[in-house]
A = this chain, B = another copy of it.
Amino acid sequence: MLGKEISQAVIGRLPRYFRYLGELKDNGVERISSQELSELMQVTASQIRQDFNNFGGFGQQGYGYNVEYLYNEIGKILGLDTIHSFVIIGAGNLGTALGNYLNFERRGFVFRGIFDQNPALIGNLVRGIPVRSMEELPGFLRENEIEIAVLTIPKTGALGLVDTLVECGIKGIWNFAHVDLDVPEGVQVENVHLSDSLMKLSYNISSQNAGKE
């Protein structure tokens, strides 16, 4: 898409820009200056300009940004102009919650299947899609050219599954298992380590309490 490497820090900020621009668009705002966007998002205007310069700008001197154009362009950069099919592996509460989350569909992420090793869950419907057994997983991934696997299983299960996923053509793993996955080049992993996030909150509360004493 682009010749140069964009830092993961910049990429990590793009979804937030996308979210704010989507809200502005929904509220009928047509254009916005980097100063106004800066105040709204509580980041510096220079940060915004620098971030957007990674993708060739988008702004126009004296006009600011066209909200809808910028929203669409960032959406394209994020790959949201194409369909991404995904399966969920692990049909517990978390897997079911993600399967039921309709907002992903609006962004082009299409829920295609859900798998579990627990026989008691097989056949249960999640948004009309039956939970399938793990034995069916490899064939299903290949036949349906699934792009993303969402892992909502314990860490031992996740570690043992990576090779199969890669062999079956998975391009990205959205990993909720509490472990770092070792994948070959060309396969992307995005981690959601919930415990880590909760510990960070705990740190900030503790150091705030300590500061007050």
Contact = CB atoms under 8 A, between A and B. Distances in A.
**Chief secondary structure at chain A's binding surface:** helix
Interface of A: 1-2, 6, 8, 11-12, 14-16, 18-19, 77-80, 82, 84, 92-94, 96-98, 100-101, 103-104, 107-109, 147-148, 171-172, 174, 178, 180, 186, 188, 190, 192-212
A43 B211 CA distance: 31
A205 B107 CA distance: 15
A203 B11 contact: yes
B147 A205 contact: yes
The 4 nearest A-B residue pairs measured at CB: A79-B206, A93-B97, A15-B196, A1-B210
A79 B196 contact: no
Given A16-B196, A97-B94, A208-B186, A77 B203 contact: yes
B96 A199 contact: no
Contact of A172 (B11, B174, B204): B204
Contacts of A78: 199-200, 202-203, 206
Contacts of A196: 12, 15-16, 19
